[in-house]
Amino acid sequence: MRIGIGYDVHRLVKNRPLILGGVEVPFDKGLLGHSDADVLIHALMDALLGAVAKGDIGKHFPDSDEKYRGISSLALLGKVVQILKQEGYAVVNVDTIIIAQRPKLLPFIQKMTQNIASSLGIEGNAVNVKATTTEGLGFAGQEEGIAAQAVALVRKLTPEEA
């Protein structure tokens, strides 16, 4: 068993969709980034890559590469799962948190959970997505950006699974 952690932040801007956990969340701002800027999936990918000592998403999917412009972060998550398999690991469970003052995310958490579980090839009860505010404090509280954190547990594949 191995554990990885991930953290990501993106700035909120006008005229961009807000994508979190592969769900387009209705809001007057979205996250700025080269891809779809899904801060939750980015933190999760970094946690998974960290668990198998394979760097971070910037190493594998650099923002200097035009083929990743506007790409779905769920598609990139699928590529991370392939990296894990190549390294001989499978995901056991993940725990994530979105840090945002607004919008309220509770109505979207179940779909985010389903998207992540499907992309990882694990049961939904092995994925936890939660959200919190910062009570108006800091960049998240002032609605300048959204952050996310993730922890992932992976296990070595058995010879039969590899």
Asked whether residue 99 is assigned to any structural domain, the reply reads yes
pTM beyond cutoff 0.95 = yes
Q: What is the pLDDT of residue 162?
A: 82
Asked whether residue 161 is assigned to any structural domain, the reply reads no
Structural domain count, the chain:
1
Asked whether residue 162 is assigned to any structural domain, the reply reads no
Q: What is the CATH number of the domain that holds 131?
A: 3.30.1330.50
Radius of gyration of the chain (CA): 15
Domain that holds residue 77: 2-156
Contacts of 112 (CB under 8 A, 6+ apart): 20, 21, 22, 23, 40, 129
CA distance 159 to 162: 5
Residue-wise pLDDT tens digits, 100-119: 999 999 999 999 999 999 99
Percentage, residues of the chain above pLDDT 90:
98
